[in-house]
C-alpha cells in the first residue's frame, strides 16, 4: 500500500485535509520534474515476491505474523491475508550479473521464510492462485490484522454499497457473491520494477503496456479457482472483480475500475496518470502528515509525498507508476503487476529478464509505440494473454495478427536478448534466463498448462479436494527440485501420501454436479434421471435452490409395487411421492458425524445445505469410495 500510517476513522474535515495534501503533493511532483529533482541516467530493477503459506495438509496457513516474528528480516512484510507474505528484493543496477543476484537473494529470503514456517508446521508455496483455497478461507478472521487492510475493506465496501459479484467464464464457469475484499488474497504475483527518468517515463510506460501481453502469455500460472478451470491467468479477472468499488450508478456510466489496464496511451508525463487517478477515484484511505513538500524542497530535501503515494496505493493498474526515494534522491519506476507468482524461482527471474530486456530494446526498435499500435489492440492483447496464454493471438506493432508463440520466438526473444546485451548484462545470465523462456514457449508447458494437464491426468472419480491437494503437493515438491516448469513431470495420484485429509468434512467429497427436480415435475422425469444417470436419489428443490424433498429409488419401487394411485388420465407429480424435509447436513459437517446420522436414520443419502441452498449430496457410495482408498 505504500504507507502504513492509516487513519482508521476520518470525517469530512480530515478527508478534505487529505485531498488538500494530495493536490499539494501532485503540484510538488510537477515542480520536481520541471526543475530536474529526479535521478537520471541510472536504470535499476527490482521485484516483489508474494507467496502462500500452507500447512501440512496443503491448506492455507494463517500464520504470517508468527512467521515474520521468527524471521525478523525487514525485507519481509505482510500481505492482505494471514496466509500470504511479501518479500521486497533489493534494487539492482541493470548490468552484470543482476538477474543472478536477484535469484540468489530471492532464494535466500524464501529459505528464511521456509525455515521460520517449518517451526510452525507450515511451508511456502509459489502459485498465482493456491489450488486448495476455498471460499470459506476468505473471511475477515484471515485478514492480516493491520489497520490499512481493515480500512481498505471498509472503504471499498462503503463505495460499492453491497457485496462483490464475481462471474468468470473459462472451460468451467464460476459465479459467486462475496462480502469483503478477501477475494484479493487468492492472488499472488511476482512484481517486476523498472526505474526510468521523467523524460523517458511515457516511452517506457507505453512500452510496458505493449509488452505485458506477450510476457504474460509465456508466464501464465493461475488456471484454477475453487476447483474451476477458468482463464490461463485467472488472477487478472479475479483481481478486477475483487476490488471493484464501483456503485451501480458508476457501473451504468462505465466508470473504470481501480484495477485497470488503462484506456489510452500516455502522451508525455507520469503526471497524466496521477491526474486521471485523482479525477476518477475517491480516497478510500487517508494519512495525516505534517510535511509541506515545498518547504522540504526549499531546504534542499526530497519530500515523501505521502498523500500521493497513499492514494496511488489504492489504484491497482497492471502497470503502476511509483514514486520512490533512494539515498535521498527521488526516482520514478514502473511496477508490472500482471505476472503471477511461481511456478519456480528460475521461471520468475526468467520472466523478469524477458520483460526488462524488452523494456530496453523495444522503443529503439519500433520508436513511439502509440504510432504503431492502437491502445484498444494493446488492451485486447492483454486480456487475450490472460484468457488463453500461449494460445492467444495478438495484433502486433507490424499491424499483423500473430500467435503468441510465433511472436515470442521469432521477434521478442531476440529483441530482449539485444536489450540485455546493450546494458551489459552478463551473457551467462542472458543465456540462462531467456533460454528458460524459450524452452517453455517451444514446449508450450507454462505453469497453467502443466496444472490443467496434470488435473486431466488424475483420476476423475477422486473428489475435487483430493485432486487439488495432489496438485498442490506436486507443485511444492517440484519447486524444491529446482527445475523450471517446462521440465516438470505431470502430477500423479501417488504424490499425495495422506489421502485421508481429503475426507475430513462432507464438503470435501460431496457431489456438486446435481440432477434435481421440482415438486410439480412428473415422477416419470425423476425415474428417467435415475435410469439415465445411474443414481438412486434425486433432490427436489424450488426455483431458488432451496431443498424441499428427496425422491429415492426405494420410494419408486414402493410406488410400483402398490400400483399407481393417480386418477385415470392424470400423471403423478414429484410432490406426491417425495420425502419432504429430508435429513440434511452442511458442507462443514465432519465425515464421521455424517456417517452416524446415516446409520441412525437408516438412510443412504444426505443432501448438503449451506445458507438454505442445496449445494451437494453425499451417498453411501461416496463413503464406500473413501473406504476403498484406505485399502489401496
The CATH number given to whatever domain includes residue 85 is: 3.30.590.20
Residues 288 and 389 in one domain: yes
Q: What is the pLDDT of residue 228?
A: 95
* Percent of the chain residues past pLDDT 70, beyond the cut: 93
pLDDT of residue 59: 96
- At 201-226, the pLDDT tens digits run 999 999 999 999 999 999 999 999 99
pLDDT at 288: 81
Provide the pLDDT for residue 464: 85
The pLDDT tens digits for 284-320 are: 988 887 899 999 999 999 999 999 999 999 999 999 9
* pLDDT confidence band for 2 (50 / 70 / 90): very low
| pLDDT tens string 4-22 | 566 655 678 888 999 999 9
Predicted local confidence at residue 252, as pLDDT: 53
Residue with cell 505485458: 212
- Ranges 279-283, 301-305, 621-625: which has the least confidence: 621-625
pLDDT for the residue 357: 99
Residue 346 has pLDDT above 80, yes or no: yes
Instruction: Say yes or no: 140 and 214 in one domain.
Output: yes
Same domain, 257 and 352: yes
| 613-619 vs 605-610, strand pairing mode | antiparallel
Banded model confidence at residue 579, pLDDT cuts 50, 70, 90: very high
* pLDDT (0 to 100) of residue 211: 99
Q: What's the pLDDT tens digit per position in 35-65?
A: 999 999 999 999 999 999 999 999 999 999 9
User: For the purposes of burial, counting CB atoms within 10 Å of the CB of 632, is it exposed (0-12), middle (13-18) or buried (19 or more)?
Assistant: exposed
Lowest mean pLDDT among 241-250, 323-332, 351-360: 241-250
- Asked if residue 520 and residue 426 are part of one domain, the reply reads no
Domain match, 398 and 520 both = no
Question: Is residue 497 scored above 90 in pLDDT?
Answer: no
Do 430 and 544 share a domain, yes or no?
A: no
CA distance 153 to 80: 10
The reported pTM is 0.90
Quote the cell numbers at residue 623: 463413503
How many CA atoms are closer than 13 Å to the CA of 133, on its beta-carbon side? Answer: 28
- Cis preceding-peptide flag for 386 (omega within 30 of 0): no
- For residue 520, the domain's CATH number is 3.10.580.10
pLDDT tens for each residue of 156-194: 888 877 788 899 999 999 999 889 999 999 999 999 999
Domain assignment present for 182? yes
Query: To which H or E segment does residue 579 belong?
Result: strand 579-580
Q: SS3 letters for 487-505?
A: HCCCCCHHHCCCHHHHHCE
pLDDT of residue 287: 85
Of 443, 463, 478, at which residue does a domain stop? 443
Say if residue 45 is in the same domain as residue 120.
yes
Residues 423, 525, single domain; the answer is no
The set of residues, in sequence order, having a beta carbon less than 8 Å from that of 502 and lying 6+ positions away, is 463, 465, 466, 469, 496, 508, 509
Instruction: Indicate the residue among 388, 418, 443 that finishes a domain.
Output: 443
> How many Cα atoms within 13 Å fall on the side-chain side of residue 499?
17
Asked, for residue 220, whether it belongs to a domain, the answer is yes
Alpha helices in 299-402 (DSSP H): 306-312, 345-366, 375-388
Check whether residue 331 and residue 245 sit in a common domain: yes
Q: Quick check: is 63 in a domain?
A: yes
d(CA 619, CA 621): 5
Cα–Cα distances in angstroms (integers) from residue 452 to residues 32, 119, 214, 338, 394, in the given order? 50, 33, 20, 20, 23
Residue 181: what pLDDT? 92
The per-residue pLDDT for 245 is 58
Domain co-membership, 144 together with 61: yes
Residues 319-336: b if buried by 16+ CB within 10 A, e if exposed: bbbbbbeeeeebbbbbbb
How many domains in the chain? 2
Q: Which residues pair with 85 in a beta bridge?
A: 51, 78
Q: Which of the residue ranges 46-60, 220-234, 351-365, 552-566 would you say has the lowest mean pLDDT? A: 552-566
SS3 92: strand
Over pLDDT 90: what percentage of the chain? 76
- Is residue 184 one of the residues assigned to a domain? yes
294 and 370 belong to one structural domain: yes
Take residue 223 and report the three cell numbers written for it: 488456471
Contacts of 338 (CB under 8 A, 6+ apart): 189, 212, 215, 216, 233, 236, 318, 319, 382, 386
Residue 1: band (very low, low, confident or very high) from pLDDT cuts 50, 70, 90: very low
Helical residues (DSSP H) of 563-619, grouped into ranges: 574-577, 591-601
Question: CA of 331: how far to CAs of 1, 82, 231, 302, 334, in Å?
Answer: 18, 32, 36, 10, 10
In this prediction, residue 246 carries a pLDDT of 53
Confidence check: pLDDT of 343 > 90? yes
pLDDT (tens digit, 9 = 90+) per residue, 382-418? 999 999 999 999 999 989 999 999 999 999 999 999 9
Confirm whether 464 is domain-assigned: no
pLDDT of residue 626: 66
Does pLDDT of 461 surpass 70?
no
- Whether residue 459 is contained in a domain is answered as no
* CA distance linking residue 392 with residue 404, whole number of Å: 6
Q: Residue 488 falls within a domain, yes or no? A: no
pLDDT above 90: residue 507: no
Question: Are residue 522 and residue 381 in the same domain, yes or no?
Answer: no
C-alpha grid cell for residue 534? Answer: 445411474
Between residues 349 and 512, the one the model is more confident about? 349
| Domain span at 305 | 12-443
Which pLDDT does position 251 carry in this prediction?
A: 55
pLDDT at 627: 67
Predicted pLDDT at 7: 61
From CA 240, how far away is CA 235, in angstroms rounded? 8
Q: How far apart are CA 295 and CA 421, in angstroms?
A: 43
- Distance between first and last Cα of the chain: 49
Residue 462 pLDDT level (bands cut at 50, 70, 90): confident
Last residue of a domain, one of 399, 421, 443: 443
Q: What mean pLDDT is reported for the chain?
A: 92
Residue 498 lies in a domain: no
| Rounded alpha-carbon distances, angstroms, from residue 66 to 2, 493, 557 | 22, 33, 59
Amino acid at each position: 500500500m505504500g504507507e502504513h500510517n492509516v487513519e482508521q476513522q476520518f470525517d469530512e474535515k480530515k478527508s478534505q485535509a487529505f485531498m488538500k495534501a494530495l493536490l499539494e503533493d501532485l503540484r510538488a511532483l510537477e515542480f520536481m520534474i520541471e526543475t530536474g529533482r529526479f535521478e537520471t541516467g541510472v536504470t535499476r530493477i527490482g521485484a516483489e515476491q508474494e507467496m502462500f503459506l500452507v500447512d501440512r495438509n496443503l491448506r492455507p496457513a494463517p500464520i504470517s505474523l508468527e512467521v515474520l516474528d521468527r524471521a525478523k528480516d525487514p525485507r519481509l512484510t505482510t500481505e492482505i491475508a494471514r496466509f500470504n507474505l511479501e518479500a521486497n528484493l533489493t534494487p539492482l543496477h541493470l548490468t552484470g550479473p543482476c538477474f543472478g543476484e536477484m535469484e540468489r537473494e530471492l532464494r535466500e529470503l524464501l529459505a528464511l521464510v521456509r525455515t521460520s514456517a517449518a517451526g510452525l508446521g507450515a511451508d511456502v508455496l509459489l502459485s498465482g492462485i493456491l489450488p486448495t483455497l476455498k471460499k470459506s478461507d476468505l473471511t475477515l478472521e484471515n485478514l492480516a490484522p493491520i489497520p490499512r487492510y481493515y480500512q481498505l475493506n471498509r472503504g471499498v465496501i462503503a463505495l460499492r454499497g453491497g457485496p462483490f459479484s464475481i462471474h468468470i467464464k473459462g472451460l468451467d464457469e464460476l459465479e459467486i457473491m462475496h462480502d469483503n475484499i478477501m477475494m484479493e488474497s487468492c492472488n499472488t504475483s511476482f512484481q517486476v520494477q523498472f526505474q526510468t527518468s521523467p523524460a523517458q517515463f511515457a516511452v517506457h510506460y507505453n512500452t510496458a503496456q505493449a509488452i505485458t501481453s506477450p510476457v504474460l502469455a509465456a508466464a501464465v500460472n493461475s488456471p484454477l479457482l475453487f476447483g474451476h478451470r477458468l482463464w490461463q491467468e485467472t488472477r487478472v479477472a479475479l483481481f478486477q472483480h475483487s476490488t471493484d468499488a464501483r456503485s451501480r450508478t458508476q457501473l451504468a456510466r462505465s466508470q473504470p475500475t481501480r484495477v485497470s489496464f488503462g484506456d489510452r496511451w500516455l502522451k508525455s508525463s507520469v503526471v497524466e496518470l496521477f491526474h486521471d487517478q485523482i479525477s476518477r477515484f475517491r480516497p478510500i484511505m487517508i494519512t495525516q502528515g505534517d510535511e509541506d513538500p515545498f518547504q522540504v524542497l526549499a531546504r534542499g530535501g526530497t519530500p515523501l509525498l505521502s498523500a500521493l503515494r497513499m492514494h496511488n496505493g489504492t489504484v491497482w493498474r497492471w502497470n503502476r507508476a511509483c514514486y520512490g526515494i533512494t539515498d535521498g534522491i527521488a526516482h520514478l519506476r514502473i511496477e508490472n503487476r500482471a505476472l503471477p507468482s511461481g511456478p519456480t524461482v528460475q521461471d520468475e527471474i526468467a520472466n523478469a529478464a524477458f520483460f526488462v530486456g524488452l523494456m530496453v530494446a523495444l522503443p529503439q526498435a519500433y520508436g513511439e509505440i502509440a504510432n504503431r499500435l492502437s491502445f484498444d489492440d494493446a488492451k485486447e492483447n492483454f486480456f487475450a494473454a490472460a484468457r488463453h496464454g500461449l494460445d492467444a493471438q495478438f495484433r502486433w506493432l507490424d499491424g499483423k495478427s500473430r500467435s503468441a508463440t510465433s511472436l515470442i520466438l521469432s521477434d521478442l526473444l531476440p529483441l530482449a536478448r539485444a536489450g540485455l546485451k546493450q546494458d551489459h548484462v552478463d551473457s551467462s545470465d542472458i543465456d540462462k534466463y531467456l533460454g528458460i523462456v524459450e524452452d517453455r514457449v517451444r514446449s508450450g508447458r507454462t505453469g497453467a498448462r502443466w496444472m490443467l494437464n496434470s488435473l486431466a491426468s488424475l483420476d476423475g472419480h477422486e473428489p475435487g479436494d483430493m485432486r487439488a491437494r495432489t496438485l498442490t503437493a506436486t507443485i511444492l515438491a517440484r519447486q524444491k527440485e529446482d527445475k523450471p516448469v517446462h521440465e516438470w513431470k505431470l502430477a500423479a495420484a501417488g504424490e499425495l501420501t495422506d489421502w485421508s485429509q481429503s475426507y475430513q468434512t462432507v464438503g470435501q467429497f460431496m457431489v456438486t454436479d446435481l440432477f434435481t427436480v421440482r415438486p410439480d415435475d412428473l415422477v416419470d422425469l425423476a425415474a428417467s434421471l435415475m435410469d439415465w444417470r445411474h443414481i438412486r436419489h434425486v433432490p427436489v428443490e424450488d426455483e431458488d435452490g432451496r431443498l424441499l424433498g428427496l425422491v429415492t429409488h426405494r420410494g419408486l419401487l414402493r410406488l410400483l409395487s402398490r400400483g399407481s394411485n393417480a386418477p385415470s388420465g392424470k400423471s403423478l407429480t414429484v410432490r406426491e411421492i417425495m420425502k419432504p424435509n429430508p435429513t440434511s447436513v452442511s458442507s462443514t459437517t465432519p465425515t464421521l458425524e455424517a456417517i452416524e446420522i446415516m446409520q441412525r436414520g437408516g438412510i443412504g443419502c444426505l443432501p448438503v445445505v449451506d445458507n438454505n441452498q442445496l449445494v451437494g449430496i453425499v451417498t453411501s457410495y461416496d463413503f464406500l469410495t473413501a473406504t476403498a482408498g484406505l485399502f489401496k
